């Protein structure tokens, strides 16, 4: 690996790429993470190290897991992610999601959602970040509520919204499963 490509893989470079992808300034992140701009800049440039607690605060602002800073980027010769290796996470009521994009992606995130009959993202609408989000129904029927307005969607219908707007997704028949695909830019999970 060349020195330039090694530098692009450092934790500091990863923090900088993510900060820029979220269109945040050094000042924005430093203030929210309770560090000085100088220290954050120095961490991003690899000129100083951060404690675990400082990394946790910075990563929280950037909506990253600390482990994401050290994850290996997908190799250009091995760009395939195997679905069988993906780990699902339960959320809401009778729902789960699987992240389909690598942890090091800064500009795009794909999640596959599965809803049991009558499953939902939860009783109450929720928000996360302020990303552009598209939900595409792959199978089944769902209702998507955005800012109190409900939309009935079937296979291959889609809806777009800002993730900062209160939203909720629910399987709408009560008798069948549903699958959806979320795409977000920049990532919020």
Backbone angles phi, psi at 29, to 5 degrees: -70, -45
Give me the pLDDT at residue 141, please.
97
Q: How far apart are CA 142 and CA 173, in angstroms?
A: 8
Q: What is the mean pLDDT of residues 89-103?
A: 90
Give me the pLDDT at residue 96, please.
94
Give per-residue pLDDT as tens, 62-81. 888 787 777 665 555 567 88
Give me the pLDDT at residue 60, please.
86
Q: How far apart are CA 133 and CA 187, in angstroms?
A: 9
Give me the pLDDT at residue 4, please.
42
Q: How far apart are CA 48 and CA 117, in angstroms?
A: 51
**35 close to 13: Cβ distance less than 8 angstroms:** no
Give per-residue pLDDT as tens, 119-178. 999 999 999 888 899 999 999 999 999 999 999 999 999 999 999 999 999 999 999 999
Share the mean pLDDT of the chain: 88
**178 close to 116: Cβ distance less than 8 angstroms:** no
Q: How far apart are CA 154 and CA 109, in angstroms?
A: 22
Give me the pLDDT at residue 1, please.
42
């Amino acid at each position: 690996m060349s020195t330039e490509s090694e530098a692009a893989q450092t934790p500091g470079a990863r923090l900088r790429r993510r900060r820029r992808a979220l269109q945040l300034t050094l000042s924005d992140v430093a203030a929210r993470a309770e560090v000085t701009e100088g220290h954050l800049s120095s961490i991003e440039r690899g000129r100083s190290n951060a404690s675990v607690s400082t990394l946790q605060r910075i990563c929280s602002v950037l909506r990253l897991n600390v482990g994401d800073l050290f994850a290996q980027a997908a190799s250009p010769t091995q760009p395939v992610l195997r679905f069988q290796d993906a780990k699902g996470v339960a959320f809401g009521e009778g729902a789960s999601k699987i992240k389909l994009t690598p942890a090091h992606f800064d500009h795009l995130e794909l999640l596959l959602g599965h809803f049991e009959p009558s499953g939902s993202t939860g009783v109450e609408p929720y928000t996360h970040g302020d990303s552009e989000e598209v939900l595409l129904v792959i199978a089944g029927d769902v209702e998507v509520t955005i800012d109190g307005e409900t939309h009935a969607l079937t296979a291959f219908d889609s809806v777009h919204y800002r993730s900062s707007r209160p939203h909720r997704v629910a399987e709408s028949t009560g008798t069948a499963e549903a699958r959806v695909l979320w795409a977000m830019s920049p990532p919020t999970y």
